[in-house]
Amino acid sequence: MLTLYHSPQSRSTRVVQLIHEMGKQDQVAIRTVGIARNDGSGAPDPANPHPEGKVPLLVHDGAQVRESNAVMLYLTDHFADSPLGRPVGHPSRGAYLSWLAWYGNVFEPVYLAQVGGIDSPVLTHAIRDVPTAVARLSEALRDRDYLVDDAFSAADILVCSTYAWFPKAVPEDAAIRAWVKRCLDRPAMTRVWAEDMARAAA
């Protein structure tokens, strides 16, 4: 039994998108919970077993998986018949893991540092900065439509989610702009986004 703890319009939305892209809605129960939001609204939900009250949280037969990239990797490994992941032994497994980890270790942190106005040589040395991350993305997308193998994967959903939330942050880069559009125009992505907006408004 797989259960995803989800809060509308949050980092768990991208996991719901992945589940829809994989066509596994009937195999993952989605439990909607409240969270404490940045704007001061909401509160940790006692129904959410995440140790920090966050989402996403995936629970599989009682075992917890937290952090978006780990949750997405877990799901694509679990549903290995889905083309959204790259299973162990696949020639692009390394590239797939690298993009998932890069998102959590570099991409989101450099944007958070920028938005938070944090400018420290220690941080820059460890994770670089937004222009460096954008250059990496642009280079990766220069001659391919998606991040791994030129075929849509969970890595695209995860990395692109930053730009889904903050369209104004999409860089003036033709390859990145075309990729963002390609990712966000997908029927499952638009459907889940619309459902989530409705859930949040309810």
Q: How far is the CB of 112 from ligand GSH (least distance, A)?
A: 10
Does position 92 interact with ligand GSH (CB under 6 A)? The reply is: no
Should residue 11 be labelled a site residue for ligand GSH when binding is judged by CB under 6 A? yes
Distance CA 126, CA 140 (A): 21
Q: Rule CB under 6 A: is residue 19 a binding residue for ligand GSH?
A: no
Does the footprint of ligand GSH cover residue 35 (CB under 6 A)?
A: yes
The SS3 call for residue 58 is strand
Residue 3 burial (CB < 10 Å; 0-12/13-18/19+)?
middle
Write down the least CB distance from residue 178 to ligand GSH, Å. Answer: 26
- Residue 159 near ligand GSH by CB under 6 A: no
Rounded to the nearest 10°, the torsion over CA 103, 104, 105, 108 is: 70
Among 36, 113, 151, 188, binds ligand GSH (CB under 6 A): 36
| SS3 state at 143 | coil
- The gap from C-alpha 153 to its chain's centroid, in whole angstroms, comes to 11
Stretch binding ligand GSH (CB under 6 A), from 22-30, 50-58, 76-84, 160-168? 50-58
| Residue of minimal Cβ distance to ligand GSH | 54
67 binds ligand GSH (CB under 6 A): yes
- Taking the C-alpha atoms of residue 173 and residue 113, their distance in angstroms, rounded to an integer, is 21
List contacts with ligand GSH (CB under 6 A): 10-11, 35-36, 44, 53-56, 67-68
